[in-house]
Structure 1
Amino acid sequence: MMSNPRAFLEQLFHAAVRAADPYEAILHHLPQPPKGRTVVIGAGKAASQMAQAFERAWPHPFEGLVVTRHGPIAACERTKVLQSAHPVPDEAGLIAAQALMDHLTGLTADDLVIALISGGGSALLPAPPDGFGLADEIALNEALLASGAPISAMNVVRKHFSRIKGGRLAALAHPARVISLVVSDVPGDNPAFVASGPTVPDESDAEEALRVIRDYRIDLPDRMIESIKNAAAPRPGDTVFAGNEVHVIASARVSLEAAKALAQHNGVHPLILSDSIEGEARDVGRMHAAIARQFAGNSDFTKPMVLLSGGETTVTISGGRYGKGGRNTELLLSAALDLQGVSGITALSADTDGIDGSEDNAGAFCDAETVTRIRANGGDARAFLAGHDAWSAFSSAGDLFVPGPTGTNVNDFRAFLLE
């Protein structure tokens, strides 16, 4: 048996995070400096780290402004860093979104815009249509988060209720050329879905946004529905995007491959299940537990082995009541219920940005005794799961994983170690 399976899983997590290091990724995608000005913009959970990396890599003059969430940020010397709220937008976000739009005024065809985009930008850049305010943006965001819709579907709706998303920020820069460097946190790595694509348009239209609202029974006011119905997002073939470039510079797949390589180096057989798993967190948790039990009980597979996966699950809030937690802790609590008493399996599920939900943990660990530890401290794991309060469950068991903010975001990381 491995002496410290949790330490090993933590090593895999950090290997995955290192593979998404902004400096190395940006360094390999830098363009030639333009004749005119270089203007840097950015938005997302990794915006300050990406800006810091860009400053190291770019020796030429530039003017930079990026938006990231409240909390610790990477120190930048030449880039102004604004902060706003995630996952629920705030007034600072309205100010920051307007500042980004103002930052792109008066550009010419000789100028270059470099956009540093990472996950989380949807909430960080609230810019509702004319006639709507912050309260409307918050109401939409909360309704989407509670709907259980996948991130790609949520972002279709978001970009049809915005003055900045869906390529609109890049359109403001015209006729300057825009190069978008994207750290992907979405299954499939479609850059138009990351942060709702402020600089990357896609083919979705208002009818698709309305279909998402209908299919996931998202309850929105009539005036908001009417605004979305009449929204006209710019299309990829629009001339304002001619000459622009988009590069996905880091993703879940690259990070999982790094974890796989480290596992092999340590004599553990790795298997990547998928880098794009979506669905209800508790259902995905049960699925992972079932796969882990199947592999653990089959002598045809070499042990020790580790099952790796990525993607972004969702949590549908039932009854309008919920406790503390996030999709990773909810997924793992569901798995823990199905793994109780099954020896030789240790699991980690964590968000690669270092924060799962609104607390300070990235995720949690579980093993055969997790549910027993919760019970020993007076808790009921099933009741915690039913109340969307997985953080409290793992906190009572001493199983939270708290690495701190990582400075990148390539979606969720899951590793099930089978000894």
Structure 2
Amino acid sequence: MSNPVLKKNKNSREFIEEIKENVKPIIDEVIKPNAEIIDREGKFPRENFLALAKEGWTSVTLPKKWGGLDLGYVGFSAVAEEIGRVDASTGLVFAMHVAAAQFINLFGYEEQKERWFLKIREGALGTFSISEKATGGHVWYSLSQAERDGDFYILNAEKSFTTSGGQSDFYVFQTRSANSNDPSEQSFFIVNGHSNGITAKPWNALGVRGNHSGPLTFENVQVHKQDLLNAKAGDPDASGGLLGLNAVWLGVAQGALDAAIKHVKKTVHKDFNRSLADYQVIRQKLAEVKIKISGLRAWQYELARYHDEILASGGSLLPLATEVSELKVQATELADFAARVAMDVAGGYGYINGIFERLYRDARGGIPMAPSNNLAREQIGKQLVGLPLELWELGK
């Protein structure tokens, strides 16, 4: 195993490009060639993940003392964007893993970090298990509740969408706190993914078919008290994890544009001896996607730098949650827009099984992901006019 050596100033654009250049061999030689089979067979991208782990990328935000790269949210964003550019499924698996690892970094005890971070450096895969079928997109609200049994907690829950479900070596698991009648009092556990009582149901979806984000059942799963994290509702780094996911969707948009450009340049109408790129209407469609990507990319990395600055100063990331949700709406809808434009300019070829229809299906996945764009708009709108979010009141 080796770690890339980066030399540029962390606040520079060149630093981001250096990260992308360092991860590029894995992208081009491993992840991109696997994308089609992952989609066709619904295959979990284990090979891709292990290739990233070997070079330290799955520890991108973790401290160097644990073998991490310590590249912060800027590094996280850069790698997630590049992965999303060629395979959304691998991008989502990567982003959720890094978010879970970073959660332990922020809210874990030293003993927990020692037990898990070295395993992560060796290829252990993690994720969050939060959403529950009973509360839908209200992922902050758990109906499940931990039960205390001596030095152990007993977990019972039906989680609705858990990326890497059934594939992860550990889950950061959210549930209501034991012996509490207040739904806003929540506990977060590190659950060994190989524990007895964890059952994953098959994942068969329209797009992102390799991320295995299906239902996950926890039935009388025992977790020792040493695996209870020092976090509560309101603390979690939801904005940081979502920021990484946003970068994936930015990458999907760029991937759609890349595919469209390649297609229109090589496709020639022999009757007029013109390529598709010679038509102004097509160039304008591509230009519109490019302009939107450039604007969103600037916002993505400005927020990533801000996240890193706040953590360096010991501050809370919670105040950034609304802005990251705003970015989420735009990133996912841009991915969808870019995929539609790519299919449009490809004409009939866009409907044949292949990169354009795969991108189109994958790009739809971000819109309903938590927070769904409808829910995000509702929460943002309430804050704008000073109405309460009512996260817990109705359930008390």
Q: Give the TM-score category using the shorter length.
A: under 0.3
More helix by share: 2
Task: State the TM-score, normalized to the length of structure 1.
Answer: 0.24
Structure with the higher fraction of residues in strand conformation: 1
Give TM-score scaled by structure 2 length: 0.25
